[in-house]
Amino acid sequence: QTDARLSACRKVCRGSKLFCVFQQRLTDSVNFSRPWPDYVSGFGDEDNFWIGLELLSLITSLSNSTLRAELFDWSDAMFSAEYLGFVVKNASTQYTMDYAGFLSANSNVTGDSLSLCRGEKFSTMDRDNDNFGGSCSLIYHGAAGWWFRGCSNVNPNGWMTSGQVDNFPKAVHWYSVHGNKNSLKAVRLLVQLPTEGP
């Protein structure tokens, strides 16, 4: 059962680690401003997708997973950020996310931009689980789904822009790449899979 569900993962290797791509944004063909059930079960097409919180939670329950973010700016430079001990808890916790630590040795960004999201429940445009007076998703982050606190220094599920846009927090961005309001060109999020046996 578990193996059948994991077959939905697009598997990639980075160094000696095997990862599942759980989110990817390459073009604007898929709208990521979506309600809770879509973020739970997943959505998208070949290039732009979110695999869903249920499957993500399952994967992180199987082994000690590393999270890897791959972020591309408008000169096509790639920035990476890795986190040890990434976990997404089950539905009863509103898919609370946590991690053990930022892995600077495997990252080429200047710091931990996820710290505001650590230990937070997932929120969407129609489900406000954040600590902010209003809805982080609706007011600041383009109706994206994410682990908002009050709110977030990253927004990988935000709006795709057709060029570099500054001072636009609704766009896809990651603070330690080019600030918390400057749009990025593409993003991919990976979660480590258990090493396959012989």
Count Cβ atoms below 10 Å from residue 149 Cβ, excluding itself: 20
Q: Which of these ranges, 41-49, 69-77, 126-134, 157-165, lies near Ca ion under the rule CB under 5 A?
A: 126-134
Triad 114, 115, 118: Cα angle to 5°: 90
What is the size of the binding site for Ca ion (CB under 5 A)?
3
Q: Name which of 123 and 161 has its Cβ closer to Ca ion.
A: 123
Q: Which of these ranges, 61-69, 80-88, 121-129, 138-146, lies near Ca ion under the rule CB under 5 A?
A: 121-129
Cα dist from 82 to 13, 52, 168, whole Å: 14, 20, 25
Cβ-count burial of 191 within 10 angstroms (0-12 exposed, 13-18 middle, 19+ buried)? Answer: buried
Q: Which of these ranges, 48-56, 74-82, 122-130, 166-174, lies near Ca ion under the rule CB under 5 A?
A: 122-130
Contact between 43 and Ca ion per CB under 5 A: no
Contact between 130 and Ca ion per CB under 5 A: yes
DSSP-derived pairing of the beta strands 78-88 and 17-25: unpaired
Contact between 126 and Ca ion per CB under 5 A: no
> Which residues, 6+ apart, have CB-to-CB distance to 141 below 8 Å?
148, 151, 152, 155, 158, 169, 170
Contact between 73 and Ca ion per CB under 5 A: no
Which tokens sit at 13?
A: 């290797």
Shortest spacing between CB 167 and Ca ion, in angstroms: 23
Residue with tokens 């600030």: 179
Q: Name which of 140 and 174 has its Cβ closer to Ca ion.
A: 140
Q: Name which of 54 and 128 has its Cβ closer to Ca ion.
A: 128
Shortest spacing between CB 119 and Ca ion, in angstroms: 16
Q: Which of 73, 98, 126, 128 binds Ca ion (CB under 5 A)?
A: 128
Question: Which of 190, 178, 192 lies closest to 66, judged by CA?
Answer: 192
Question: Which of 20, 14, 17 lies closest to 2, judged by CA?
Answer: 20
Contact between 98 and Ca ion per CB under 5 A: no
- Contacting residues toward Ca ion, per CB under 5 A: 128, 130, 132
